[in-house]
């Protein structure tokens, strides 16, 4: 057996990490979609919600301004593509949740770093635990083929490890990506390791409607849409997002 593994490695064959079972994916998907429904709050069923993602530290004044602008959720970056925790997310999440806003966090992984996918997830979870915050969801940011390996097989292996590690945290999960990023990273749009999870879809056409969405990865429609990028709002540089009513 050891000889076989060595020969496979020498031949450049990448062994796939154990994927989540269909049952595990289904249960996690149900839990994650339930977390999204909670983000709307009581009495808001049928009404879309709006929010922002960003990398800055939000102040109480900025949060008040965002709320006055009709926004109800924030998604700060919790992990950077260079393989380190973005500590800015802690203060932003605490301030937003204290003010009554929903708060998630996104993890931008580093597939080519020496740290494993599990190590990266655990670093973010450790930071969350030490800060005493509880994000509504953790979004896995899957974009930028320049940050990933050169082969689809290697990227699928890392993705499997990332999903497995993230699922073990117990937090609801979602995926950030679109059909172009997905195909460039995984070889085509049909790779579907996590279609049960909510999808956060970027398309900067300045329209918060589900227009021009192209299905991929098993997702028939997105749960969120990032429709406006790098806008200065309430003194911070942010992207605008809509969370569709469920």
Which residues have a catalytic role annotated?
A: 53, 141, 143
d(CA 199, CA 221): 8
d(CA 10, CA 108): 30
Strand-pairing partners, residue 113, are: none
What is the pairing mode between strands 224-233 and 236-243?
A: antiparallel
**Residue whose C-alpha is closest to residue 138's, from 96, 168, 98, 100:** 168
Tell me, what DSSP letter sits at residue 187?
S
**Alpha-carbon dihedral 170, 200, 181, 25, rounded to 10 degrees:** 40
> Would you state the structure tokens that stand for residue 201, as one six-digit string?
């879809």
> Would you state the structure tokens that stand for residue 58, as one six-digit string?
């939000």
**Alpha-carbon dihedral 181, 184, 189, 190, rounded to 10 degrees:** -130
Per the listing, tokens 């085509």 go with: 188
Residue 39's H or E segment, with its range, is helix 22-40
Q: Could you tell me the CA-to-CA distances from 225 to 11, 151, 152, 205, 213 in Å, in that order?
A: 41, 28, 26, 10, 10
């Amino acid at each position: 057996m050891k000889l076989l593994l060595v020969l496979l490695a020498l031949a450049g064959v990448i062994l796939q990490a154990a994927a989540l079972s269909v049952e595990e994916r289904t249960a996690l998907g149900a839990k994650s979609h339930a977390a999204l429904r909670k983000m709307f709050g009581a009495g808001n069923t049928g009404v879309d919600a709006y929010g922002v993602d960003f990398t800055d530290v939000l102040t109480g004044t900025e949060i008040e301004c965002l709320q006055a602008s009709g926004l109800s959720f924030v998604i700060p970056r919790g992990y950077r593509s260079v393989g380190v925790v973005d500590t800015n997310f802690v203060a932003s999440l605490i301030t937003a949740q204290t003010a009554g806003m929903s708060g998630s966090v996104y993890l931008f992984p580093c597939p080519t770093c020496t740290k494993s996918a599990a190590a990266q997830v655990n670093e973010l979870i450790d930071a969350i635990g030490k800060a005493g915050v509880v994000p509504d969801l953790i979004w896995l940011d899957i974009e930028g083929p320049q940050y990933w390996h050169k082969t689809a097989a290697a990227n699928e292996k890392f993705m499997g490890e990332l999903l497995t590690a993230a699922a073990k945290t117990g937090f609801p999960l979602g995926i950030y990506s679109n059909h172009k990023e997905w195909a460039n990273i995984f070889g085509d749009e049909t790779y579907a390791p996590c279609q049960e999870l909510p999808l956060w879809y970027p398309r900067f056409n300045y329209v918060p409607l589900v227009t021009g969405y192209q299905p991929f990865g098993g997702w028939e429609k997105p749960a969120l849409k990032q429709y406006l990028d790098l806008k200065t709002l309430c003194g911070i540089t942010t992207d605008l997002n809509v969370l569709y009513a469920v």
